[in-house]
Amino acid sequence: MPDAPDLAALAALLGDPARARMLTSLMRGTALTATELALDANIAPSTASAHLAKLAGAQVLAIEKQGRHRYFRLFDADVASLLEELMGLAAKRGAPVRRTGPADPALRAARVCYDHLAGERGVWLLDALRARKLLDGRDACSVSRDGEAFFARFGIDVDGLARSRRALCRPCLDWSERRQHLGGALGAAILARIFALRWARREPDSRAVTFTPHGERSLRALFEAA
């Protein structure tokens, strides 16, 4: 199939161990410098720069310039979703998952997957939205009519999100839970609203999300089925 996308080239880019570690670091949703990514990947800065140039050239990464500094981030939400699904597939296939240090339980409980909620809380949230029939469908979910009214009361403009170029709802395979959490524009908007209400906070230099006791109660009171 000469007209087929070059899957092998993309797989080779993502398959290098050092590049994979740098991409995992960028799943925090924040832009990082080449030096920071080199430290995360445990490689020399010159080696990291060569890897980053290849990833940017393939539109896996985007570069943001600020003065003399250059910051790297994931190119878009599609790249983040692909990486999260690959993490889930690797876990499902029995690839070893590093479980060291006290941060791992926090990451499994709740974390940022690029810009939406993942981990136990993220999986619970998607289950709750479906149980309340705020979302329709399974693999290709959509917002129900009741859901549109519900999210409007919660401060989210579903119509506005639907007009963006990004998919509104995208179930994303959670690498730790091995079930789906909610990605897409709606998943990002829900997490942004949770942060705005101060129900939860991002831990510094981590993907972990910590809910306050009030936030935990409020989340469950709002989203659990009556």
Number of domains in the chain: 2
What is the arithmetic mean of pLDDT over 124-138?
A: 88
CATH code, 28: 1.10.10.10
Which of 66-70, 171-175, 213-217 has the lowest average pLDDT? 171-175
| Residue-number span of the structural domain to which 47 is assigned | 7-75
Considering the domain architecture, whether residues 17 and 105 belong to the same structural domain is answered as: no
Q: Which residue has the higher pLDDT, 97 or 192?
A: 192
83: in domain: no
DSSP-derived pairing of the beta strands 69-74 and 61-66: antiparallel
State the pLDDT at residue 209: 93
Considering the domain architecture, whether residues 133 and 59 belong to the same structural domain is answered as: no
Nearest-angstrom CA–CA distance, 173 and 69? 34
pTM value surpassing 0.85: no
177: in domain: yes
90: in domain: no
pLDDT level of residue 217 (50, 70, 90 thresholds) = very high
State the pLDDT at residue 2: 57
Mean pLDDT of the chain: 84
Considering the domain architecture, whether residues 43 and 141 belong to the same structural domain is answered as: no
Nearest C-alpha neighbor of 188 from the set 204, 218, 211, 164:
164
- The angle subtended at Cα 19 by Cα 46 and Cα 60, nearest 5°, is 105
Q: Which residues pair with 63 in a beta bridge?
A: 72
132: in domain: yes
pLDDT reading at 14 higher than 80 = yes
State the pLDDT at residue 100: 35
The residue assigned the tokens 């994303």 is: 172
125: in domain: yes
Considering the domain architecture, whether residues 65 and 104 belong to the same structural domain is answered as: no
94: in domain: no
pLDDT reading at 31 higher than 60 = yes
State the pLDDT at residue 226: 45
Considering the domain architecture, whether residues 58 and 143 belong to the same structural domain is answered as: no
80: in domain: no
State the pLDDT at residue 52: 92
71: in domain: yes
For residue 177, the tally of other CB atoms under 10 A from its CB is: 18
